[in-house]
Structure 1
Amino acid sequence: MDEMTRLMALSAKVGADPLLVQAAGGNTSLKQDGTMWIKASGTWLQHAHERNIFVPVALDPLLAALERDDPACESCTDFVRTDLNSLGLRPSIETTVHASFAHRIVLHVHCVETISWAVRADAEAMLAPRLAPFHWAFIPYRRPGLPLATEIRKRLKGDTNVLVLGNHGLVVAAETVAAAEALLHEVVRALVRPARAMPLADLPMLEELARDGRYELAADPSIHALAVDPVSLAQARKGTLYPDHIVFLGAGIAVAQAGEDPRSAAERIGLSGRPEPKLIAIPGKGVLLAKGVTPAALAMARCLADVTARLSENDPAQVLSREDELALVNWDAEKYRQSLPAS
C-alpha cells in the first residue's frame, strides 16, 4: 500500500469521527515529487474512499509565492496542477498552512478536546504542561487561510510538528501517514477532558414551539445539552467560539427569553449586526434548529454541544469578534465552500 492510499484511509477514518472532524472541516495532505496533494475545499474527509477529494498543488511555486507575500496565495488556485486535476477541484482554504510545513504528511482536525482548550483566553499557559513532551506551538486566532499561515510561519521552528490553533483546532505533521496518525492520537490523549453527563430535553415543549414549521427539533439528543445544561448554555451564549460555527450556523446561538418565540430570538441577534443564528436554545428545555438546516449545520451543532460539555463554569472562554465573524461570512472562499453539496 502506498502513502496516498494510506492517507485516503486515514482521512476517511478521521473524517468519520465527530470528535475529530465535523462535516467539511479539517484537511489532510501529502507531499511527493514536488506536488502537494491536499483535500479539496468543501469536500468531506469521510468521503475519501468514495470519491476523489484531493487536489494537486505545485509546491515550489507556492512556497516561492508565500515568501514574497503574493496575493495568489489566498486562494492557491494559480498553483493547482491542472494536468492532474481532471475534476476541476479547488484547493482547501488551508493549503498555505499545509505548505508551511516541511513534513511530508500534515493533518489538520477540529478536535473537540483541543478546541475545549483552544477557546480559553489562557489557552497557551494551560496547554504548556500537557504538551510539554511534544515539539509544539500555540498560534493565536487568525482568519483561516493566508493570515493563519503567515502567523504560523512566524512561529514555526524546524522541529515543530504540533500546532494548537487558538479558537480553531489542531495540526500535526510527520514523515509518514502512520507516524502522523500516532502523533495525532498521542496529542489528543494528552488533551482529553471529561464531558459532563447531561439532563434530558423537554421534547413535548419543543414540539409545541416548532408547530409553526420554521424550526425543528434537533434530531441528535446530545445537541439539546446546549440548552438544558446551565454551564453549556452559559459558555455557548458568549458568542462564536470557532470559525466553522459561524460559517454553517450563523453567529453564536440565540437564547430565547421568557415568552419569546424562536424566530424573534434569532432576529434579535441579526438586528445587532451579526449573522442571524440557526440554532435557538430554549433554556431548560432544549434546542431548535432552522427548518431544513444542512448536514454541515447539524454536525456543527453537535460539535458545539461536545465542546461546551467539556468546559467548566469558570473556564475563561473567549469568542470571535464581530469583525472576525464578518470576515468569515463575507469571504469568497467560505461562500464557495458553503455552496457545495454535502454528498
Structure 2
Amino acid sequence: MPTHIDDPEFAALRHASAKLGRDPLRTQAAGGNTSLKRDGVLWVKASGTWLAEAEERDIFVAVSLPPLITAIHANDERAAKATDFVVTDANPQGLRPSVETSVHAVLPQDVVLHIHCVETVARVARSDAREQIAARLDGLDGIVWAYVPYVKPGLPLAREIHAVSKPGTNVVLLGNHGLIVAADTVADAVALIGRVSAALAAPARPAPEADIAGLEALAEGSPYRLPTDPVAHGTATDPARLFIAARGTLYPDHVVFLGSGTAVLAEGETPASVAERAALPPMLLAVPGKGVLIHRDVLRGGDALARALADVTGRIDADAPLRFLTVDEEQELVTWDAEIYRRSLAAAAKG
C-alpha cells in the first residue's frame, strides 16, 4: 500500500482538520470528519476521535476504496460500518472508520470535509432550508450544490447524496445536520467552506449576561455544574434562543452528547429536585434568565455541544419555521451501534 506519511496533501489534511476542530463555529467535540483519497485508499477520520487532535495523534484509518464503493452500490450492509474494508496492516491502533465513511466514498473528489458549522446548521434546521440555501448559493461561481433533507447519518445518507448529486457537485447541505464540501485539494476544500459559510451566515443575536452567582447557588448540592464555556449560557438568557431550544432537537450530535432536547427549570423547581424525579436526569438544564447547568455525568464533548446550541439558536429568528428531529429519529440515533460506540469512547476518555 502506498505510504501517506510524506504526502504533502495528507499533512495539509491533518492541519486543516485540526484547525476546523479547534473552531467551535466550524465543528464541535468528536463531530465532523475529513478524508483524503490516494491510490485506491480512503484515509478517513476514525470514529469517536476529535478533529482538533489531528496533528497530535493518528486519527485517520485506511479503507480500501473499490470494494467499499461496490458494497455501497450493491446495498451491502457491510458498507455501513466499513470495518470489513479497513487496511489492517495500516491500522495498528485498531481504530474504527467514521460513521460517515460511506459518505466520503461516494463523492469522487480526492478531499472531502464534513463539518457541523453553526452558520450551516442554523439554515438547514429550517423547514424552508432548500429555499434559504438557494437564495444564498445560487449563482456563486464554482459552487455546485445539492441539498439532502434529514436522513440517518452513515450509509442511508451516502445513498441519498449519490442519488441527488449531479456531475461537479462540490457542496452538499444536509438537513438538520451540517455541511460537506469536496475538492481535489485540501486548500480548495477549505476555501469552499469559507465561501459557503460566509454566504449562509447570519449575525448572532446578543445574549444578556448569565447570573453566575445565582447558578452556583442553584447547583449547590445537586449533580449539576456550570458549563466550561460561558457562551453556552446564551441559550437560557436570550428568550428567543430558549423558545427554540425548549421545542426540541435540531441536529444529531445534540442527541448523542446531551440527550433529547433541552430541559427547562420550572418555577419552584431546583436542579436537585429535577435530578431526583427523573429516571434519566437531563444532561442540559436551562434556567430562564440565568443561564445553563450541565450534569456532571455528561460525556466528554457535552460542553462543546452546549455551546453549539447557543451558537445555532442565536442565529435563528424565534419565528423562523423550524424542523425538529422526531422521536423516532432520536431513538434511531441513540440505539444505533455506531453512536453507541462513539459514546463509549467519549465515556472512556472522560474516565
Tell me if both proteins adopt one fold, taking TM over 0.5 as the criterion: yes
Note if contact 2:18-2:54 (Cα within 8 Å) is conserved in structure 1: yes
**Structure 2 vs 1, CA of residues 263 and 141 (structure 1 numbering), >3 Å: closer, same or farther?**
farther
CA deviation after TM superposition for structure 1 residue 262, in Å: 2.3
Give the alignment partner of residue 36 of structure 1, picking from 31, 42, 48.
Answer: 42
CA shift digits 1:107-150 (9 cap, x unpaired): 00000000000100101011102011220011100111111111
Alignment match, 1:319: 324
CA deviation after TM superposition for structure 1 residue 291, in Å: 1.7
Alignment match, 1:63: 69
- Equivalents in 2 of 1:140, 1:251: separation in Å? 20
1:199 aligns to 2:208 (yes or no)? yes
SS in 1 for 2:23: coil
CA shift digits 1:300-335 (9 cap, x unpaired): 001001001111121112210000111111111111
Aligned pairs for 1:120-199 within 5 A: 120-132=126-138, 133=140, 134-199=143-208
The residue type equivalent to 1:258 in the other structure is E
SS in 1 for 2:301: helix
Alignment match, 2:258: 249
Note if contact 1:255-1:265 (Cα within 8 Å) is conserved in structure 2: no
Note if contact 1:254-1:265 (Cα within 8 Å) is conserved in structure 2: no
Alignment match, 1:83: 89
Give the alignment partner of residue 249 of structure 2, picking from 224, 229, 240.
Answer: 240
CA deviation after TM superposition for structure 1 residue 252, in Å: 0.7
CA deviation after TM superposition for structure 1 residue 283, in Å: 0.9
Alignment match, 1:284: 289
SS in 2 for 1:74: helix
Note if contact 2:223-2:275 (Cα within 8 Å) is conserved in structure 1: no
The residue type equivalent to 1:231 in the other structure is A
TM-score by length of 1: 0.95
Alignment match, 1:226: 235
SS in 2 for 1:36: strand
More deviation, 164-173/216-225: 216-225
Give the alignment partner of residue 20 of structure 1, picking from 6, 23, 26.
Answer: 26
CA shift digits 1:14-48 (9 cap, x unpaired): 11111001000000000011000000000001111
**Structure 2 vs 1, CA of residues 331 and 267 (structure 1 numbering), >3 Å: closer, same or farther?**
farther
The residue type equivalent to 1:151 in the other structure is E
For structure 1, the 5+ residue unaligned runs are none
- Equivalents in 2 of 1:51, 1:117: separation in Å? 33
Note if contact 1:266-1:278 (Cα within 8 Å) is conserved in structure 2: no
SS in 2 for 1:295: coil
- Equivalents in 1 of 2:276, 2:21: separation in Å? 33
CA deviation after TM superposition for structure 1 residue 256, in Å: 1.2
The residue type equivalent to 2:84 in the other structure is D
CA deviation after TM superposition for structure 1 residue 265, in Å: 4.2
Alignment match, 1:329: 334
More deviation, 332-341/250-259: 332-341
Q: Once the two structures are aligned, what percentage of the paired residues are identical?
A: 53
Give the alignment partner of residue 9 of structure 1, picking from 11, 15, 19.
Answer: 15
The residue type equivalent to 2:23 in the other structure is D
CA shift digits 1:197-240 (9 cap, x unpaired): 11111222211211113111223221111111000000111111
**Structure 2 vs 1, CA of residues 120 and 142 (structure 1 numbering), >3 Å: closer, same or farther?**
same
The residue type equivalent to 1:285 in the other structure is K
The residue type equivalent to 1:298 in the other structure is D
Give the alignment partner of residue 121 of structure 2, picking from 108, 115, 120.
Answer: 115
The residue type equivalent to 1:319 in the other structure is F
TM-score by length of 2: 0.93
Give the alignment partner of residue 49 of structure 1, picking from 41, 48, 55.
Answer: 55
Alignment match, 2:3: none
Note if contact 1:206-1:217 (Cα within 8 Å) is conserved in structure 2: yes
SS in 2 for 1:103: coil
- Equivalents in 2 of 1:80, 1:295: separation in Å? 27
**Structure 2 vs 1, CA of residues 280 and 304 (structure 1 numbering), >3 Å: closer, same or farther?**
same
- Equivalents in 2 of 1:301, 1:85: separation in Å? 33
SS in 1 for 2:81: coil
CA deviation after TM superposition for structure 1 residue 294, in Å: 3.4
**Structure 2 vs 1, CA of residues 294 and 168 (structure 1 numbering), >3 Å: closer, same or farther?**
same
